[in-house]
Amino acid sequence: MSTIPSSMQLCRTLCAALAITAAGAASAAYPDHPITMILPFPAGGSVDAVARLTAAELGKRLGATIVVENVPGAGGTISTQRVARAAPDGYTLLFTTPNHTINPAILPKLPFDTEKDFAPVSLVAQIPELLVANSKQPFSDFKGFVDYARKNPGKLNYGSAGNGTLPHVTMELLLLQLGLNVVHVPYKGAAPAMNDLLGGQIGVKLDTITTSKPYIDTGRLKPLAYASDKRSPLMPDVPTIAESGLPGYEGILWLGILGPKGTPPAIVDKLNKTIAEMDKDPEIVKRLTEMGVEPVFNSPQAFQQMISKEIAQWKDVVQRAHITVN
């Protein structure tokens, strides 16, 4: 039997080699035209501000224009589906938040697979939540909140931006771990929830330093505890929830970038390394910190592991807390 390859075999081998060469060349030249970064939220607000800062600084370092496109709606699924179906060439990216890992628990019929249809690139930043109380509440720290809620089950209430939002599920996670009964009052957005917190219609709320600090400074709100693994430099006297009696607890609005499944590893690696460089820039760190935002980055593998872990975590919380979306 002859061992000489057939013409068809040679053709297949040559085509495969050419494809690999072309893919490598494309990755090396990346980016050679504008990149679109899709954001599942409307313009304005902290997430949009960080996305636009990231697009400008990342684009500068990559030598390309990155256009931020706001595509809100359906809890973020419209924009996320668009990225999932985009060409995996690094020119369509998703700038997203924990809605990415919460949605599988509250929206079971998603038109994409949250774990399998994306190529995680890196975290970019995070905004830890801050537990705050109306100034008239009979407690002024985290221990006082826990003691009061434990002695008065169902009497205290808390507000959120709506069912299934990050402040809702992170507060329910907190209550489940503490074994407390605090009544949830959902609002259509963070602003009306804050208005009622200031007015005393609700007692506590998980918010952010950026929006809460002006009211804390004027004495209308009390900071109880910070939901990160370390204290904030903006409010160094406020302890973390972890150090206040609940080790390991975090409530964090993370911000990260993903591409469509199949994005070439060389492109993912280039984006990841550029984000890491950006987040180490003292000027960027300063600008983010002043916004109440912490620069963070991780490897694509660590980001994927975090996504998988959160999907399982939020499914458990949603089931145990009986959370539904109206």
Q: How confident is the model at residue 324 (pLDDT cuts 50, 70, 90)?
A: confident
Q: How confident is the model at residue 3 (pLDDT cuts 50, 70, 90)?
A: very low
Q: Which of 60, 117, 124 is nearest to 95 (CA)?
A: 124
Q: How confident is the model at residue 7 (pLDDT cuts 50, 70, 90)?
A: low
Planar angle of CA 228, 105, 100, nearest 5 degrees: 60
pLDDT above 50: residue 4: no
Burial status of residue 143 (CB atoms within 10 A of its CB: 0-12, 13-18, 19 or more): middle
Q: Which of 41, 38, 39, 319 is nearest to 189 (CA)?
A: 41
* Poorest-pLDDT segment among 6-15, 186-195, 287-296, 311-320: 6-15
**Which residue in the block uniquely carries the two structure tokens 């909140």?**
145
* Tens digit of each residue's pLDDT (9 = 90 or more) over 30-52: 999 999 999 998 888 889 999 99
* Tens digit of each residue's pLDDT (9 = 90 or more) over 127-183: 999 999 999 999 999 999 999 999 999 999 999 999 999 999 999 999 999 999 999
Residue 291: per-residue pLDDT? 87
Each as own residue / partner, the long-range contacts of residues 237-246 (CB below 8 Å, 24 or more positions apart, any chain) are 238/130, 239/141, 239/142, 241/131, 241/142, 241/174, 244/141, 244/142, 244/143, 245/142, 245/143, 245/146, 246/174, 246/177, 246/178
Residue 9: per-residue pLDDT? 61
| The residue type at 88 | P
Residue 305: per-residue pLDDT? 98
Residue 14: per-residue pLDDT? 53
For the residues of 125-152, what is the DSSP string, one character each? Answer: EEEEEEEEEETTSS--SHHHHHHHHHHS
Residue 210: per-residue pLDDT? 87
pLDDT above 80: residue 125: yes
Token readout for 103 is: 């949605």
* Tens digit of each residue's pLDDT (9 = 90 or more) over 265-316: 999 999 999 999 999 999 999 999 988 899 999 999 999 999 999 999 999 9
Q: How confident is the model at residue 73 (pLDDT cuts 50, 70, 90)?
A: confident
User: Span 61-88, mean pLDDT?
Assistant: 95
